[in-house]
Structure 1
Amino acid sequence: MKTLLKTAILSSALALGAGFAGPAAAQDDSIYIPNLSYRTGPFAATGTPLMNGQRDYITLLNERDGGLNGVKLVYDECETGYNTEKGVECYEKTKANAVVTQPWSTGITLQVLPKSNVDEIPILAPGYGFSPMADGKVFQWAYNPPSSYWDGASMILNNLSDGNLDNLKGKKIALLHLDHPFGKEPIPLLEALAAKHGFTFLPIPVGLTEMQNQSAQWLQIRRERPDFVVMWGWGAMNAGAITEAVKTKYPMDQFVGVWWSGHDGDLKLVGEAGKGYRSISWSVPNSESPLMQDIKKHVVDAGKSLINQGEGEFDSVFYQRGLMISAILVEGIKEAQEQFDVRAPSPEQLRWGLENINLDEARLKELGAEGMLVPFKTSCADHTGHGGGWMLQWDGAKFVKASDLLMPDRTEIEPLEAAKAKEYADANAPWPINEECSM
């Protein structure tokens, strides 16, 4: 079996919303990988390119390679509209045959998380979800590689402080965030770092009904005059914030977003006026890479993609990040195939595969994706990998890489991570802990 596992990049001629009648994971001729997507609602503009990327990576493997080691990958979507209640319904509809679940919302992830120990289906939430899921001893079925939200907040502050958070003493940092579990994720870490390093932390929530009209929030920003605004936004909120920042003449080089606040379409609304805005990112688009050329040949030009070519989606950050997200999943499946000498791994076998991913630079090059994803490695105890990220900066027309690889300060994060993981386990007792997990 190992000799069959020389390459991997995915594909599948899939039917969107196919009634969730995917094949059982135990069958050897296919692997069912549902996605709890959102192509409708206020987050559709950002969700759609990500889902298109995930879909096209699967399609590539099926069309170019005949699947993964001869096994068809069946990609399916259940539309949630980013609604937590609908997301839980989609999870219940798809779980019977699924080898994995991809919640695509921190709120949905938090609802599914307590079910993970009962249903024993891995939760894959690349770059989102509950940050303490990094602790594989406590969250045995949940994975959020290659970097967590707390990693992202740490990297942003490290960049703003030139590598020494004590340089932020006396400064004021505003967190413009969606008033939703996703937007609240960095708050515990930022509060702890503010107290330790002497900067003022100012959270400014944006309600779901305020995303397109943030006049009150930006009036507060003008009044408070923070040294930096960090945005933890999503969907229509990002476009609203960037438009308001330009209108109020907030210095764009002092405005930094998390990786979900770095959508090309939002910046194109303001064009040159958005020049200088930055977003931390664990992926970098490279349309000339071998992977992207294969995607173009076998998927896009072959008429098997849903992307909007006229709007430059192929070259965008989010579309290519979607490809990398499916690449992470496929790598876990490949590892499980190899370890257990099976064609279609079970959810339990995929759990092992996801905690034995080693997407180093050599492997990324082999996949044709060199430089497109931060190298990272997971383990039994580390379900994130903490690969770091780069700053992307808007140059007036597109995002370009604007930093060397940045790494989170894990000494600052790990104590809080452990405390919050324990707090979660205690609150949901009895909660199983994998004491055999040492590294």
Structure 2
Amino acid sequence: MKHSTKLAAAAALGTMLGTAVMAQELYTPNMAYRTGPFAATGIPLMNGQADYMTLLNERDGGIGGVMVNFEECETGYSTEKGVECYEKTKERAIVTQPWSTGITLQVLPKANVDEIPILASGYGFSPMADGKVFQWAFNVPAGYWDGADMIIQYLEEQGSLDGKKIAFLHLDHPFGKEPLPILEMHAEAKGFELLPIPVGLKEMQNQSAQWLQIRRERPDYVIMWGWGAMNAGAITEAVKTKFPMENMLGVWWAGHDADLKLVGEDGKGYKSISWSFPNPDAPAMKDLQEKVIDAGLSQTNAEEMKGVFYGRGLVMSMILAEAIKNAQENFDTAQITPQQLRWGLENIDLTEERISELGMDGMVPPFSTSCSNHTGHSGAWMLEWDGEKFVKASDLLTANVEGYADVIASSAADYAEANAPWPVNEDCAAE
């Protein structure tokens, strides 16, 4: 990949002048949650994200000759603390990574004013797919509505859903309610009964009431939209109540290796849709081992590195790094602005060839973005727990976005109207 003249000059200057130029940095803070009820799932993700940026710093001298400052601001997954982190970091940040649908919803209106792109990889408010309306927000490579659609597609492949009953076990939180519009749309169209079963934040580890309802209702399938301690609690209860694990499926945040290892063989057959997949043989993993792990620059461990969530963290930072590189090359500057990064995020083109160039073969499906498409809709694989680890249980599934494009457009328009005056990108033509 050829770099522009200015990028090459920036890298050379960095070598010659050292500290003077090294004072420059790409400040990409991350709203981490290594503490609190979601820490068990947050830690491997944060480790993967941080390690990828450390790799770029150690191996490549940063991105475009400028080092990355991937400082973490601890939120404990608290919306209030997340907003505090946003206010604390926004002055220097070129991106905001909220790490919670609740925090994303609070930061969304602020991003228009501050003109800082929100990168919510695989989470956040699903209508953010409409880049014309949500010009500063991105939920690449796939959104929750994509996930819900692909889960229903997968279930349909197993047989008609007409007359079936599907329990929707979900965290009683903005995140847990996100897929409801798409699940309700499919229930009406395909003739199945959707049974929402909320799990309160204080009930995550004791779901006896919810599983009593599931035993009583005897659904054909359970779709779990869980996070943190809720997932381990649900999986444990499912095993205890002898629910057939092959009929239980989760969103990508409900496919954490450590949760399934609690039940081991008893969890065999449990499935989770996922837009990432760990590949221990990928060249990037070898570089990480040499430049980051062996050098003592990581908080991870050998077991965690094999898991889905650590690999997903790597993918998330790779996507951000790719957007930064895009912006640097387009604007012919290494020290990009938040506004320039927005362009970079709107012009991602991660082909299989490019993913291979980055040494991350098979770790994420190809996808691209545009000014109107801020999600990418990458597709995902259905993963299945084999008693010891997650394995692929399907070919790549792709969401039928056309089937709910009207829902995206109307929901985005409703949000803009409810939050008027809401600036939109009038220069962006819908694709």
TM-score category of the 2 structures, normalised to the smaller one: over 0.9
Which residue of 1 is the match for residue 16 of structure 2?
none
**2: CA distance, partners of 1:27 / 1:355:** 28
Q: What is the deviation of 1:432?
A: 1.1
**2: CA distance, partners of 1:240 / 1:4:** 52
* Residue 232 (structure 2) pairs with residue 239 (structure 1): yes
- The answer (yes or no) to whether the contact 2:22–2:66 under 8 Å persists in 1 is no
- The answer (yes or no) to whether the contact 1:27–1:344 under 8 Å persists in 2 is no
**2: CA distance, partners of 1:307 / 1:59:** 13
Which residue of 2 is the match for residue 224 of structure 1?
217
Deviations 1:254-273 (A, max 9, x none): 00000000000000000000
Matched to 2:182, the amino acid is L
Which residue of 2 is the match for residue 250 of structure 1?
243
CA RMSD of aligned residues (A): 1.6
Which residue of 2 is the match for residue 373 of structure 1?
364
Aligned length: 416
Which residue of 2 is the match for residue 135 of structure 1?
130
- The answer (yes or no) to whether the contact 1:285–1:315 under 8 Å persists in 2 is yes
- The answer (yes or no) to whether the contact 1:136–1:142 under 8 Å persists in 2 is yes
- The answer (yes or no) to whether the contact 2:22–2:67 under 8 Å persists in 1 is no
- Specify every segment of 5 or more residues in structure 2 that has no aligned partner in the other structure, as ranges: 8-20
**2: CA distance, partners of 1:338 / 1:39:** 34
Matched to 2:363, the amino acid is M
Deviations 1:290-323 (A, max 9, x none): 01111111111111100133xx101110001000
- Aligned partner (choices 177, 182, 186) of residue 184 of structure 1: 177
Q: What is the deviation of 1:4?
A: 5.7
Which residue of 2 is the match for residue 388 of structure 1?
379
- Aligned partner (choices 304, 315, 327) of residue 313 of structure 1: 304
Which residue of 2 is the match for residue 20 of structure 1?
none
Which residue of 2 is the match for residue 21 of structure 1?
none
- The answer (yes or no) to whether the contact 1:128–1:149 under 8 Å persists in 2 is yes
**2: CA distance, partners of 1:215 / 1:91:** 37
- The answer (yes or no) to whether the contact 2:221–2:247 under 8 Å persists in 1 is yes
Q: What is the deviation of 1:412?
A: 1.8
Which residue of 2 is the match for residue 397 of structure 1?
388
Q: What is the deviation of 1:29?
A: 2.5
**1: CA distance, partners of 2:396 / 2:190:** 23
Deviations 1:326-365 (A, max 9, x none): 0000000000000000011100000000000001100000
Matched to 1:160, the amino acid is L
**1: CA distance, partners of 2:148 / 2:128:** 16
State how 1:26-425 maps to structure 2 within 5 Å.
29-162=24-157, 167-309=160-302, 312-425=303-416
Q: Secondary structure at 1:3's aligned position in 2?
A: coil
**2: CA distance, partners of 1:73 / 1:2:** 20
Larger proportion of helix: 2
- The answer (yes or no) to whether the contact 2:267–2:385 under 8 Å persists in 1 is yes
With over 3 angstroms needed to count, the CA separation of the structure-2 counterparts of 1:394 and 1:163, relative to structure 1, is closer
Deviations 1:383-439 (A, max 9, x none): 011010001110000111111000111122211111100010000001112122113
Q: Secondary structure at 1:168's aligned position in 2?
A: coil
**2: CA distance, partners of 1:173 / 1:409:** 20
Runs of 4+ aligned structure 1 residues displaced above 4 Å come to none
With over 3 angstroms needed to count, the CA separation of the structure-2 counterparts of 1:129 and 1:268, relative to structure 1, is same
- The answer (yes or no) to whether the contact 1:176–1:229 under 8 Å persists in 2 is yes
TM-score (norm 1): 0.93
Q: What is the deviation of 1:3?
A: 2.8
**2: CA distance, partners of 1:271 / 1:431:** 49
Matched to 1:327, the amino acid is M
- The answer (yes or no) to whether the contact 1:28–1:71 under 8 Å persists in 2 is no
Q: What is the deviation of 1:370?
A: 1.1
Deviations 1:149-180 (A, max 9, x none): 0000000000000188xx21111111100000
Instruction: Using the aligned pairs only, state the percent identity.
Output: 68
TM-score (norm 2): 0.94
Q: Tell which deviates more after alignment, 175-184 or 188-197.
A: 188-197
Q: Secondary structure at 1:39's aligned position in 2?
A: coil
**2: CA distance, partners of 1:69 / 1:101:** 20
**2: CA distance, partners of 1:344 / 1:225:** 57
Deviations 1:171-204 (A, max 9, x none): 1111100000000000111112111221101100
Q: Secondary structure at 2:40's aligned position in 1?
A: helix
**1: CA distance, partners of 2:248 / 2:204:** 17
Which residue of 2 is the match for residue 3 of structure 1?
3
- Specify every segment of 5 or more residues in structure 1 that has no aligned partner in the other structure, as ranges: 8-25
- The answer (yes or no) to whether the contact 1:28–1:343 under 8 Å persists in 2 is no
- The answer (yes or no) to whether the contact 2:3–2:329 under 8 Å persists in 1 is no
Matched to 1:177, the amino acid is H
**1: CA distance, partners of 2:86 / 2:176:** 22
**2: CA distance, partners of 1:180 / 1:39:** 19
